[in-house]
Amino acid sequence: MKRLVIIEDQTAIREMLVEILRLDSNYELVGEAGDGQAAVQLILDSKPDVIVLDAKLPGLNGVDILRRVSKKLPQSRVLVFSGHENPVLVRDMLEAGAHGFVEKTAGLFEFKKGLETVANGGTYFGPAVASLLRNVVANPSASSAPDFLTDREREILQLVAESHSTREIAEKLGISVKTVDNHRTNLMRKLNLHDVASLTRYALEVGIITPKKTV
């Protein structure tokens, strides 16, 4: 029986996955989380065999979660289950340590097939992601994006783009306000951007955050 955690910020989807996988005798659900920071701690504490991971999460996105845990838990298998797929995101997820990527539009049958394959040591891509990867092979420039930010800079970029204040970021990360200011200054210098609005647009363009839904 594989020990499994589910990382998904949409409560309805997370609860649906929990109910489905609790009925599957191949897996033992050992934890769930809907926040990026909480997810890292949960994964490191529970040391699961399999991780079901959304790409976009508040506080810390899926790529940065994987970058923090994959080297410490190389035996853990990771299936990304996400409503967002673009060449840069898929590339970054795979480079960070994911073993499969299924788009949420593919449905539960595709998800379960991907989970089984990844849990048993294989790699698996949903139909839309497989098509996207074929296009990337044919056009490598489609997946190119600057990758010169440190993990901490990417983390602070996400929190800035999510409209957290400097003090809120400092408290969330357990660092000083001055350190946050220094990182933000370095971000702006590296990216040649000069205000929060520009940083937010950049974070959207490279897939670090997603657009807010409007009613």
User: Position 126: which residue type?
Assistant: G
- Render pLDDT for 156-188 as a digit per residue (tens, 0 to 9): 888 988 888 999 999 988 899 999 998 888 888
In the chain, beta strands by DSSP E: 2-7, 27-33, 50-53, 77-82, 100-103, 124-125
pTM of the shown model: 0.70
* Cβ contact 35:14 at 8 Å: no
Pick 205 or 145 by higher pLDDT. 205
| Distance between CA atoms of residues 36 and 177, nearest Å | 21
> What Cα–Cα distance (Å) separates residue 212 from each residue in 162, 164, 181, 200?
10, 15, 25, 12
Put residue 163 in one of left, alpha, beta given phi > 0 → left and psi -120 to 50 → alpha.
Answer: left
- Render pLDDT for 140-160 as a digit per residue (tens, 0 to 9): 554 444 556 787 888 888 898
Mean pLDDT of the region 11-23: 92
pLDDT confidence band for 211 (50 / 70 / 90): low
Pick 129 or 6 by higher pLDDT. 6
pLDDT confidence band for 214 (50 / 70 / 90): very low
- Render pLDDT for 57-91 as a digit per residue (tens, 0 to 9): 888 889 889 999 998 999 999 999 988 777 778 88
CA atoms within 13 A on the CB side of 158: 25
| Structural domains for the chain | 2-142 (3.40.50.2300), 151-205 (1.10.10.10)
pLDDT confidence band for 193 (50 / 70 / 90): confident
User: Position 110: which residue type?
Assistant: E
What is the reported pLDDT for 215? 41
3-state secondary structure (DSSP) of residue 183: helix
What is the reported pLDDT for 4? 97
